[in-house]
A and B are shown apart, each in its own frame.
Chain A
Amino acid sequence: MAGTNPFPLSRDELLKCYRTMGTIREFEDRLHIDFGRGDIPGFVHLYAGEEASATGIMSHLGDGDRIASTHRGHGHCISKGVDVVAMMKEIYGRKGGACNGKGGSMHIADVSKGMMGANGILGAGAPLACGAALAAKYRKKGEVAISFVGDGASNQGTFLESLNLAAVWNLPVLFVVENNGYAESTSRDYGTAVDSYVDRAAGFGLPGITVDGTDFFAVYEAAGEMIKRAREGGGPALLECKMVRFHGHFEGDAQTYRGAGELDSIRADQDCMKKFRAQVTAAGVITADEFKAIDREVLGVIENAVKEAKAAPLPTLADLTTDVYVTY
């Protein structure tokens, strides 16, 4: 390999991050197809197009760091290290799923990996992340918590209250606003009065920064700085990732609210994986063929996950009343 590596990550780390982003992309694109076929029960919200945010942030975290996710949570799960087969089983409603088929796409979780759950309630993760950060503060091991919120849920009172609480208690928590431009079908600009989430953070006494969320390295560097600061007792911060969503709000969304040609243009010009490949190959650190090999590898991983999910047994009546006390 010719040339020196200009990136803040080693070649192996770059390959790993690309593999994570590719796994998310393939996982989501596959769900898009399988949902369309009627194979997947319930509501599914896909993260494709947003991979650089989850991957760039989670690269800085270990299992002891907690995240509270959104209902668009598959990407957060995968980049936090949740097993892809267990995730697929969960989304298919099978036994052996990450939540034994009791959570599904919107509530997928693995607390052993520090993933405190996707959340069906908008903005509900922010107070939970404050709690995780509070617990980390008591444990004194330098752990942090990340609260993910979409631009839509950023208008929930829970989120705004959490910004204040985190500032008042100086909690090691990073609030990440994943701004994909749409709160469901409603444009961000219609539903949020301020132009910049940095201004909103300032209103609560938090430092904030906005980055191009389709640029992995911009996310990686900004998140790294804020997470390091939180680990050292510097307190909470807000990171806005401006990004794009390749699929609808939920699967089945016809997306007629989008402008003409919008989807084609964001897929062409704002694909975070394309950008990553272009930056890294241009620097001569990883070749296009190496990326293609990862793409093929990931395809096999997801194909296998779907196969295993479809073969997994369904939960039974005996599972209905476990994991909760039942007195009736």
Chain B
Amino acid sequence: MARTISMKQAINEALDQEMARDPRVICMGEDIVGGAGAEGEKDAWGGVLGVTKGLYAKHGDRLMDTPLSESAYIGAAIGAAACGMRPVAELMFIDFMGVCFDQIYNQAAKFRYMFGGKAETPVVIRTMVGAGFRAAAQHSQMLTPLFTHIPGLKVVCPSTPYDTKGLLIQSIRDNDPVIFCEHKALYDFQGEVPEASYAIPFGEANVVREGKHCSIVTYGLMVHRALEAAATLAKEGVEVEIVDLRTLSPLDMDTVIESVTKTGRLVCVDEASPRCSIAADISAQVAMRAFGALKAQIEMVTPPHTPVPFSPALEDLYIPSGAQVADAVRRTLKGGKH
């Protein structure tokens, strides 16, 4: 039965159900229980934003607090995965990837191919992404393109609690390393989620709104900005179609091409920096595969190519807005041949 819960609860429920289902699933990360070795409350934090709170009571030592030592414990999660476990490691912020990236892109991502198909690395790295928390340059990035660039990694970035639960369960069951990106600004976002366990297959984009005038292709928090734009544009008689990619690797280009073929116009919205971004990638592929269907120039809506600024006044300007998305749609509608 479905009920309305937050994305945070959806993550917690997915972890809980998979830990109950499969004893090989273990969780580790900094403060994912909280208070380890201290005199006070056990499960004091349940993760820095409380996402894993309560799981310790149910699953005990299968949740492990780690030292502040990302290379060691992310690497240990990967090593354990290569030895038959199915670890879910939490890397608090995607911005911390820099300190443990080797273990992810040279080790986990490569094992299956480099060892001739004889090794599997079923590890999930859950990590917080995105701006909006006034957390500035080192705790706010959307670094998804760093990971989509690496063969062997799967990259997920859901926009709703429903997708979050189903995609996290799929990530845990998948035999490849998965970077599971959780937008911190969506943790409290509510949505209908079935209580029962379910998996959403990778590589299946979701058309969250149908329309005939222009396709908006996006993921994560930006899906919601696209929906804002869609509401504004509808009042102007413009019906946009919104494609939520959900997984960035594998990437469901067929759904994107199908949508662009129908509408003839494309706006790519990405919270990542513009250069070599998901938006740039989608634009290039549409230009290659569906050039004939395009009636006008492709538009991209991204932040400027700057670090994420601290000041709320600046950060609000940095994050792509619904108004910017609507403007991009209007530009492409004016462009090209009519």
A residues whose Cβ falls under 8 Å from a Cβ of B: 66, 68, 97-103, 107, 109-112, 116-117, 119-121, 124, 126-132, 134-136, 138-139, 145, 157-158, 161-162, 164-165, 168-169, 322-327
Contact = CB atoms under 8 A, between A and B. Distances in A.
A97 B116 CA distance: 8
Given A99-B118, A100-B117, A164 B83 contact: no
A108 B132 CA distance: 45
A99 B154 CA distance: 22
A115 to B, nearest CB: 10
B103 A103 contact: no
Interface stretch (B2-10, B73-81, B293-301): B73-81
A282 to B, nearest CB: 42
Contacts of B116: 97-103, 323
A161 to B, nearest CB: 4
Given A99-B115, A165-B66, A327 B79 contact: no
B186 to A, nearest CB: 25
Given A116-B83, A130-B72, A130-B76, 17 more contacts: A97-B116, A99-B118, A102-B114, A103-B114, A109-B111, A126-B75, A127-B71, A127-B75, A130-B75, A130-B79, A131-B82, A134-B80, A158-B71, A161-B72, A165-B76, A324-B113, A326-B151
A324 B78 contact: no
A99 B110 CA distance: 12
Contact of A99 (B26, B114, B251): B114
A99 B203 CA distance: 28
B107 interface: yes
B82 A116 contact: yes
Given A68-B79, A124-B107, A128-B78, A324 B152 contact: yes
Contact of B67 (A121, A134, A165, A324): A165
B331 interface: no
Interface of B: 24, 26, 64, 66-67, 69, 71-85, 87, 102-103, 106-107, 110-119, 151-152, 154, 176, 203, 249-251, 253
Nearest to B83: A135
A130 B106 CA distance: 17
B67 A164 contact: yes
A116 B75 CA distance: 13
B102 A325 contact: no
Contacts of B82: 111, 116, 128, 131-132
A99 B114 CA distance: 7
Nearest to A163: B72
Nearest to B74: A127
B102 A131 contact: no
A158 B104 CA distance: 13
B83 A66 contact: yes
B77 A131 contact: yes
B69 A134 contact: no
27 contacts: A68-B79, A102-B114, A107-B115, A110-B115, A111-B115, A111-B119, A116-B83, A127-B72, A127-B103, A128-B76, A130-B79, A131-B76, A131-B85, A132-B83, A134-B79, A134-B80, A135-B80, A136-B83, A138-B24, A158-B103, A162-B72, A168-B67, A323-B117, A324-B151, A325-B176, A325-B250, A327-B250
Nearest to A119: B107
A128 B85 contact: no
A62 B86 CA distance: 23
A130 B75 CA distance: 8
Contacts of B106: 120-121, 124
Contacts of A99: 114-116, 118
A138 B77 CA distance: 13
B85 A135 contact: yes
A127 B114 contact: no
Contacts of A168: 67
B115 A127 contact: no
A111 B110 CA distance: 14
Contacts of A158: 71-72, 75, 102-103
Contacts of A112: 118
Contacts of B250: 325, 327
Contact of B118 (A111, A126, A134, A324): A111
A102 B117 CA distance: 9
A124 B74 CA distance: 11
A127 B176 CA distance: 19
Contacts of A68: 79
Of A66, A112, A165, chain B has the most CB atoms within 10 Å of the CB of: A165
Contacts of B85: 131, 134-135, 138
Nearest to A95: B116
Contact of B115 (A109, A120, A130, A161): A109
Contacts of A132: 79-80, 82-83
Given A99-B116, A103-B115, A121 B80 contact: no
Contacts of B78: 127-128, 131
B111 A117 contact: yes
Given A134-B76, A134-B80, A135-B80, A109 B102 contact: no
Of B24, B73, B113, B116, chain A has the most CB atoms within 10 Å of the CB of: B116
A97 B118 CA distance: 12
B79 A127 contact: yes
Contacts of A101: 116
A173 to B, nearest CB: 10
Contacts of B113: 102, 323-324
A325 B117 CA distance: 11
Contacts of B103: 124, 127-128, 158
Contacts of B79: 66, 68, 116, 127-132, 134-135, 145
